[in-house]
Structure 1
Amino acid sequence: MSDDSQRPIVVKRIKKGGHGHHGGAWKIAYADFVTAMMAFFLLMWLLGSVSKGNLKGISDYFNNPLRVASQGGTGAGAAESLIKGGGKDLTQDEGQMKKGGAEQTDIAHDRKRLSELKRKFEALMEDKAKRNTKLAQFKNQLRLDMVAEGLRIQIVDAQNRPMFKSGSSELEPYARDVLDEIARLLNDVPNSVSLSGHTDAQQFAGGLRGFSNWELSSERANASRRELVNGGLDDKKVLRVNGFADEVPLDTKNIYNPINRRISIVVLNREAEQDIRDQAGMGDSDATPASAIAAVRPS
């Protein structure tokens, strides 16, 4: 029988293998996630701070980048660019958040100012109508409403109470009284104004080749402008004078209705005023205050 104490002792050491190499793929995935989140929050910031014009420019660029790059467009880039492109220079130091907030505040103040002017005008005409029989009769021919361009004041003809003498731009005395009252109210706000004349569809004997409703509506609008200035309106506040002939009737079912003969005075909001300046070929950099703009008269 062998002696077990003499047997060699064998010690087995088990080496534990390490984890397999992952290759760092998780780091790339995490970096992509962080980048995507940063882009998302940057997009949210831009949507909340960039003006509407610049947003439209960005949208136009992604929809058709070649056209915007070659022709420009609203909000397409710097205002100083030789290529026509609306909006402010995106390289300016002033922050977009600050500018966007200021624009919204100005627009809100503008709307509030025009709404207060509407209420003030209605109260004044109510008071004047009680003390003046002519204005009392004329009250129903005044129409006030808020439109996209601002506060619109329309003075329409009635069957037996026209604003002007038949076929002429000579104002009736009571029409002058109303325009004088309007003039004093318009000076209470800094907004510019636009005037337009309208006729019914009754044509002159010469037709469009002679003196027509186009000339008549334009002359009546300009005669109203002169009376407003005579009544105290600052003449620099008039930004546009138009004649529309019988193209925009109030009563589309009866184009001969007297109410289609009217003068429309629009107290312009900031956006409408800027649109008119842009249409006349004036950008933001060329625009001067309303006090330095002469009336745009039809040729």
Structure 2
Amino acid sequence: MKSSTPVIISRKRKKKKHAHHGGTWKIAYADFMTAMMAFFLVMWLISQTTSGQRELIADYFRQPLKPSMAKGDKTSLSDSMIPGGGNDLTKSDGEVAKRKLTEEKRDKWMENLKRAKDKLQKLIETDPRLNNFKSNILMRLTNDGLLIQITDSPDRPMFRVGSEKPESYMNGILQALAPLLQTLPNKLSLTGHTDSLPYAGGEGGYSNWELSSGRANAARRVLVQSSLSDEQFLRVIGTGSRMPLENTLPENPVNRRISILVLSKAKEQEIRLEDTRMQNPVSTLDGIVQRNVQGYTDGYE
């Protein structure tokens, strides 16, 4: 006889536990957010600084030996117990005062170069020797000084093809620039450039190296004959086709150009020290390290 009592069957399901993922992603995300915060903070701080202050910051990172030589506690080699200070706690003397003086000097020569650029821009508009070649004259202010470039165009070369001899209108451009350059106390660096089209004789014969340096020296002669003192030139060099303009093909005619750099005091000192550093790097190290403080204090008035 079958029992009338129902049979109850109970089934128990085992719950599967999810794998433990950990919290490493949170650390990575926090690091990312911290880095982004630091980046935007740095960008904001840079926007609040003057051009002189930005250059001092750049010099700090260009000279990593300075903190180590100062035993890591400051960015200076002063004997003062107060980092960045001097014997006078009012900061009327010592490194803080020198740094302020440096910034003032830098701002002053930058303003002088800006005025020179404005004068040249007005001269280009009024002088027919320059006005007809506005598209061939490029100007911009850089940390190294005021850069003036006289470029070729496909239909109007500044020098005779393959020659160091300037065209008559190139002579006119240089003669128009000479009086303005003469009024500036800054030294000049004059550089010749060519495009990348090679000579048939190859690099072993007469090449773009000789052509660029010859054209630079020919431009110097025209400027000197136009009343500019030869003593104002600090260097005259040719770089061949090695330094094309940004965003241009090396064979582009615009790369055939003469660059006149009205040197900042800092760049002038850097050029003058190039050979000295190579000949005696140990003895000049101290001067290089302290460049932030005293490199510009004797800038042009």
* TM-score bin (small chain): 0.5 to 0.7
Q: Is contact 1:199–1:246 with CA below 8 Å preserved after alignment? A: yes
Q: 1:232 aligns with which of 221, 227, 230?
A: 227
Percentage of matched positions with identical amino acids: 36
What per-residue deviation string (whole Å, max 9, x for no partner) do you get for residues 254-299 of structure 1? Answer: 3221101000001111111111111132777xx9x99xxxxxxxxx
Distance 2:221 2:240 in 1: 19
Q: Is contact 2:70–2:77 with CA below 8 Å preserved after alignment? A: no
SS of the aligned residue for 1:189 comes to coil
Q: Which moved more, 1:265-274 or 1:98-107?
A: 98-107
1:57-206 matches, within 5 Å, as 60=65, 62-63=67-68, 95-129=94-128, 135-206=130-201
What amino acid maps onto 2:179 in structure 1?
A: R
Q: CA deviation at 1:206?
A: 1.3
What amino acid maps onto 2:166 in structure 1?
A: L
Distance 1:209 1:259 in 2: 25
Distance 1:216 1:207 in 2: 13
What amino acid maps onto 1:248 in structure 2?
A: M
Q: Is contact 2:140–2:148 with CA below 8 Å preserved after alignment? A: yes
Q: CA deviation at 1:226?
A: 1.1
Distance 1:54 1:161 in 2: 41
Counterpart of 1:244? 239
Does residue 210 of structure 1 match 2:210?
no
Q: Is contact 2:186–2:232 with CA below 8 Å preserved after alignment? A: yes
Cα RMSD, aligned residues only: 3.4
Give the gaps of 5 or more residues in structure 2: 1-52, 80-85, 87-92, 278-283, 288-294
Counterpart of 2:90? none
Q: TM-score, normalised by structure 2?
A: 0.63
Distance 2:231 2:239 in 1: 23
Q: Which has the higher contact order (CA 8 A, sep 6+)?
A: 2
What per-residue deviation string (whole Å, max 9, x for no partner) do you get for residues 176-196 of structure 1? Answer: 111011111011111111111
What amino acid maps onto 1:197 in structure 2?
A: G
Q: Is contact 1:218–1:243 with CA below 8 Å preserved after alignment? A: yes
The count of aligned residue pairs is 216
Counterpart of 1:10? none
Give the gaps of 5 or more residues in structure 1: 1-47, 69-73, 79-89, 291-299
Counterpart of 1:277? 272
Q: CA deviation at 1:101?
A: 2.3
What per-residue deviation string (whole Å, max 9, x for no partner) do you get for residues 118-146 of structure 1? Answer: 000010110013xx5xx443221001111
Q: TM-score, normalised by structure 1?
A: 0.63
Larger radius of gyration: 1
